[in-house]
Structure 1
Amino acid sequence: MTTTTRVLSLLTLLPIAMAQADDGGISFWLPGQFGALAAAPVAPGWSLPLVYYHVSASDNKNAVVPRGGRTVVGLDAKADLLFASPTYTFETPVLGGAQAAISAVAAVGRSEASIDATITGPRGRSFSGSTNDSLKGGSDLYLLGTLKWNHGVHNFMAYSMGNIPIGAYDPNRLVNIGLGHAALDAGGGYTYFDKTYEFSAVAGMTYNWENTDTHYKNGIDAHIDLSASRFLTSQTLVGLVGYYFEQVTGDSGSGAVLGDFKSRVAGIGPQVGHFFKVGDEQWYANIKGYYEFDAKNRPDGWNLWATLVIPLEGKK
């Protein structure tokens, strides 16, 4: 395998499924999870992407939002999560030459939040005054499948991703790491790559099942992740990343006391990536960050991703 092909195959392992707790304004889909060269085929075999994710977000001090089964005011939240995504890419093409891959994703981490006031709680209980909560634990199990087609500099992808809700979740807590309900996301993407420049766009939609503990059902979400970068050398790239997320149908269920509560948010920021040798293997590290804006009915702030991609097949 040439150096250029190896660069391509490792870099495209970065799209990884991630999610957070879901209630009015915090979505199953984590914007920004698809990155550079998202739709380009990769080297077959096993790989292990690891991602450290930090998020800091807050609401307007007067904003009223549903959170963890409560209706809260003045939310300020932070989280640090470490995701592992063992991935297997099949060597035999399917469906007209498509390359298939499957990933299982899970995380451990810590989440914390504070609020100025709680108006109503789960099961009709009332709260008041400032409070905070923190939690260490594991996430749900997320399953991702992709199909990718290559036609010269043009690359296309279809994907689907869902969760098994087994993570740390308690409807009576202010913060959770598990989702508390099932969800399914599907979509497609495109990557242009001529070995110097790349542009990637991945769009999808999310369907959420009802959280039976809080009787809250998020509406259908639409989202797009974007990347544009340039390879300064065959080992180093720099560029920009961005995303846009918008809820297209309203929340529902008896727990949706604020009505449809449609949310949206946009983000943009820089990225840099670098390839380096560990023994005979070529590893890849990437750092990207997003500053959020144009938020509605959703906490906004900034988030940072630090990614390490480990090939497990040895030198090819």
Structure 2
Amino acid sequence: MKDRICEAKLDRRRIGPAIGVALAVSGFLSGAARADEAGVSYWLPGRFGSLAATPQVPGWSMAEVYYHTSVSAFGNAAAAREIQVGRIPAAANVDLNLHLNAQADLILLNPTYTFATPVLGGQLAIGVTGLFGRSSADLAGTLTAAVGPLATTRTGSFGDSITSVGDLYPQATLKWNAGVHNFMSYVTGDIPVGAYSPSSLANLGIGHAAIDAGGGYTYFNQQAGHEFSAVAGFTYNFKNPDTQYQNGVDFHLDWGASQFLSKQVFVGLVGYAYQQITDDFGQHPVLGGFRSRVLGVGPQIGFLFPVGDMQGYLNLKGYGEFAAENRPAGWNTWLTFSISPMAPTSTVTPTRRVATK
């Protein structure tokens, strides 16, 4: 019984293809202001969490995630939004005193299929994440711009919101198990089909394609109930054809640690680190390289339960952000519900266990 529950267990957390955006949630918050161009990045920190690298039960699974974020920014991170919507001429010398606030409420859907036949000795899974939701942003403050001997100062505010669909985020993962040690490689990306306008403060698409790849590790001791996971990756961003702006290369690390209190319930911590490692191209001179950074940490709780002959999973986690640079920061929460196949006890062994995050 314990093996069966643990096996099915954290497959559902991955929101993303693993979202890997398995929920992964994939960087969907351009409108909610995240990083890189105008403070918006493809990668959404927190997409991976506990049990990220553990194998899953073969077959179809579905994860649904409600994601909420509230962030704010000052200085360059706020100015980047005003530049994005074309309110600061590229030739202007600018003095900024701006404040950006942004929020988003998103529903993410992630169907995933896990193959029973091994690939390169590991377990292959493919999936895609789509989203629907609302994003809003407002910008207020004072801007002084000078072109040659002429200078103007403007004080005021403006904002907008959007309710629509976002980009699509396909993902593929390969996972290997060796007792309490689990390993994973993944590749994912952004198909820019979501609602996006370069003249809007709030968007649900990012306006350009991206590809992201990396790997992860999970230590999972079922007898003691201990678990720790970490997933790291790099994002290459393609040029935004509407703005001729190209984000630099981004590095990200998501991690989670948990302790099982029973066969059905666990608690723990989650966190992430995001750091842009190369400069943006096409940015306003006032922004410089505009490399962004943010750290986040917070609590999590998970609950496993049967749904007919399927395995149900419910997880709530939240992050408080700090040490942000050239990027809005604040807090975000993820509420995940997923259903996946229940592992047959008759076919499960300690080395063939299929569990996921």
Please say if 1:54 is aligned against 2:68.
yes
State the Cα distance separating 1:9 from its structure 2 match: 2.8
User: Which residue does 2:351 correspond to in 1?
Assistant: none
- Preserved contact between residue 12 and residue 313 of structure 2 (Cα < 8 Å): no
Please say if 1:79 is aligned against 2:79.
no
Q: Which has the higher helix share?
A: 2
- Preserved contact between residue 303 and residue 313 of structure 2 (Cα < 8 Å): yes
One of 165, 176, 179 as aligned partner of 1:138: 165
**Which consecutive residues of structure 1, in runs of 5 or more, have no partner in the other structure?**
121-125
State the Cα distance separating 1:238 from its structure 2 match: 0.3
Per mean C-alpha deviation after superposition, the further-off stretch among 242-251 and 67-76 is 67-76
State the Cα distance separating 1:254 from its structure 2 match: 5.5
User: Which residue does 1:43 correspond to in 2?
Assistant: 57
Q: How many residues align?
A: 309
User: Which residue does 1:108 correspond to in 2?
Assistant: 132
Distance across 1 between alignment mates of 2:342 and 2:255: 31
Q: Normalized against structure 2, the TM-score is what?
A: 0.81
- Preserved contact between residue 265 and residue 295 of structure 1 (Cα < 8 Å): yes
One of 172, 191, 204 as aligned partner of 1:164: 191
One of 306, 315, 330 as aligned partner of 1:301: 330
Please say if 1:150 is aligned against 2:149.
no
Please say if 1:239 is aligned against 2:268.
yes
Look up the equivalent residue of 1:107 and give its one-letter code: L
Distance across 1 between alignment mates of 2:76 and 2:249: 26
User: Which residue does 1:218 correspond to in 2?
Assistant: 247
Distance 1:11-1:63 versus aligned 2 partners, 3 A rule: closer
User: Which residue does 1:94 correspond to in 2?
Assistant: 119
Distance 1:246-1:129 versus aligned 2 partners, 3 A rule: same
Please say if 1:263 is aligned against 2:292.
yes
Distance 1:13-1:118 versus aligned 2 partners, 3 A rule: farther
Larger radius of gyration: 2
SS in 1 for 2:245: coil
Distance across 2 between alignment mates of 1:146 and 1:64: 36
**Which consecutive residues of structure 2, in runs of 5 or more, have no partner in the other structure?**
31-35, 89-95, 145-152, 345-357
Distance across 2 between alignment mates of 1:240 and 1:207: 29
Cα offsets for 1:77-136 (capped at 9, x unmatched): 0000000000000000011x210000110000000011104859xxxxx98620111100
State the Cα distance separating 1:172 from its structure 2 match: 1.2
User: Which residue does 1:30 correspond to in 2?
Assistant: 44
Look up the equivalent residue of 2:63 and give its one-letter code: P
User: Which residue does 1:123 correspond to in 2?
Assistant: none
Distance across 2 between alignment mates of 1:281 and 1:148: 22
Look up the equivalent residue of 2:6 and give its one-letter code: V
Per mean C-alpha deviation after superposition, the further-off stretch among 6-15 and 178-187 is 6-15
Look up the equivalent residue of 1:299 and give its one-letter code: P
One of 228, 250, 268 as aligned partner of 1:199: 228
Look up the equivalent residue of 2:133 and give its one-letter code: G
State the Cα distance separating 1:276 from its structure 2 match: 1.7
Distance across 2 between alignment mates of 1:189 and 1:182: 23
Look up the equivalent residue of 2:41 and give its one-letter code: S
SS in 1 for 2:42: coil
SS in 2 for 1:286: strand
State the Cα distance separating 1:60 from its structure 2 match: 2.8
Distance 1:3-1:46 versus aligned 2 partners, 3 A rule: farther
State the identity as a percent: 52
Per mean C-alpha deviation after superposition, the further-off stretch among 254-263 and 229-238 is 254-263
Distance 1:7-1:180 versus aligned 2 partners, 3 A rule: same
Per mean C-alpha deviation after superposition, the further-off stretch among 154-163 and 23-32 is 23-32
Distance across 1 between alignment mates of 2:313 and 2:295: 27
Please say if 1:179 is aligned against 2:206.
yes
Higher relative contact order (CA 8 A, sep 6+): 2
- Preserved contact between residue 229 and residue 239 of structure 1 (Cα < 8 Å): yes
Distance across 2 between alignment mates of 1:292 and 1:146: 28
Per mean C-alpha deviation after superposition, the further-off stretch among 127-136 and 185-194 is 127-136
Cα offsets for 1:153-204 (capped at 9, x unmatched): 0000000111111000111111100110000110000000011100000000
